[in-house]
Amino acid sequence: MIGGKQDFRMAVTSDLHLMAKTLYDDGPAFEHLIRSDDGKQTKDSTKLVRQMFLEVHQQRYDALLITGDLTYNGELASHEDLVERLKVVKNYGVPVYVLPGNHDIRRNARSYLGNEIRQVPTVDEEAFAKLYEDFGYGQAVSRDVTSLSYMVKLREDIYLICLDNCSRVSGFVQKYGEIRPDTMNWLERQLRSIKGKSCIVAGHYNLCFHNSMFQQGFIMNNKDEVADLLNRYNVKLYLSGHMHMQHVSSNFGVKEIATSPPTTWPHQYGSLRISSDGDMKYETRQIIMAPKQRNEYHDFYRKNFMMQVFKDLGPRIELTDKEIEVMAEYAADLHLAYFSGNAYQILDEKKESQARKLWLTKASDCFYHRYMESILIEEKINHNLLLL
């Protein structure tokens, strides 16, 4: 039962996309990067991650899990910066477990100083495992020799399997996720060896269908094979990220929770509680910050999204400026609610809105119209809370 003395508490986060401060300044190159990005707070990534880590050790979590995309785009300097921050967490007594995302290894890593965008060193698989030796790889009870997957014992009765599901072909990182046959075999051996114990599985790419717009490049190519295997060994929970949104779904009886990034509004992380009899409770916690700061981040994220909508709508003589404004506000309301896991609160209201009718009648050919409609068919559930 949840709430007992023996509960194991793990903080869960993903997609930090941390960028070391030595790699950017206030110049035009970085400004351009920020304006063309998805609204994440890269400028304040180190500040947000530092605050989240502070909360993790102050609240005495038993472990911290980071499900990939640790760095902005695989910069060695960002990995080194993160490692220093993780050492502090570990020194406060919180073991840390990381796994790689598609932005961590062999990337076209760059710095953004003044007007200049320059290539900077990235890392390969060997360097990644060495950098994070104290954060999973050195504590593993088993490591897969063909990937960066590993298994650790969280407690006598609870195991964690961190999967490296970033696909590589002849050493080249691909833009999709999968578990290769050798790793599938390794995974099954591990599950067999711990049969009867609680086991959480984590990876960067998604295991379940979440939204029709997030399929290719998001869900593992062999998702059903992996979900079936996990289900056969009674794994109830798979933790992931990658989509940059807070969302719960399921496949073959396995629940997946994709945790939204700390560096993207609403700036939160997951808190997972596992009882001694295997019951689990996951809920999100917003990073503590001043209300003014939170409002600034919110406005930045919303404005960034609305700019993309304006671009997609383009100049349309059949729409007045007022109508365009109403349509963009509607899209932003839905997008922000959806990505923060709270769309269930506004689905009914938005379905009946005048703004939706405008999209349907005057801009149904737009990408954002299709995206909004894909949200409106969502089940009305709170994606910030899960009891298993």
Binding to Fe ion by residue 17, rule CB under 5 A? no
Is the sign of the CA dihedral 205, 211, 217, 221 positive or negative? positive
Query: Measured from the CB of residue 101, what is the shortest distance to Fe ion in angstroms?
Result: 4
User: Measured from the CB of residue 268, what is the shortest distance to Fe ion in angstroms?
Assistant: 17
Instruction: Write out the two tokens for 10.
Output: 């793990």
75 binds Fe ion (CB under 5 A): no
CB of 204 to Fe ion, least distance (A): 6
Indicate the residue whose CB is closest to Fe ion.
242
- DSSP state, residue 204: S
What are the tokens at 347? 């689905």
Using CB under 5 A as the binding rule, whether residue 236 contacts Fe ion is answered as no
Selection from 175, 177, 183 nearest residue 165 by Cα = 177
Residue 167 or 190: the one with the smaller Cβ distance to Fe ion is: 167
Length of the chain: 388
Nearer to Fe ion, 69 or 256 (CB): 69
How many angstroms separate the CA atoms of 137 and 320, rounded? 58
What is the smallest separation between the CB atom of 384 and Fe ion, expressed in angstroms?
21
For residue 13, which of 233, 361, 260 has the smallest C-alpha distance?
260
Pairing of strands 254-258, 247-251: antiparallel
Please tell me whether residue 69 binds Fe ion under the rule CB under 5 A: yes
Task: Name the segment binding Fe ion (CB under 5 A); options: 28-36, 78-86, 95-103, 317-325.
Answer: 95-103
Q: Please identify, using beta-carbon distances, which residue of 40 and 369 lies nearer to Fe ion.
A: 40
Give yes or no for residue 203 binding Fe ion (CB under 5 A): no
Return the biggest CA–CA distance within the chain: 66
Within 240-299, which residues bind Fe ion (CB under 5 A)?
242
Cβ proximity to Fe ion, 122 vs 198, nearer residue: 122
Cis ω for the linkage preceding 266 (within 30 of 0): yes
According to the binding rule CB under 5 A, does residue 102 interact with Fe ion? Answer: yes
Q: Which residues bind Fe ion (CB under 5 A)?
A: 69, 101-102, 242
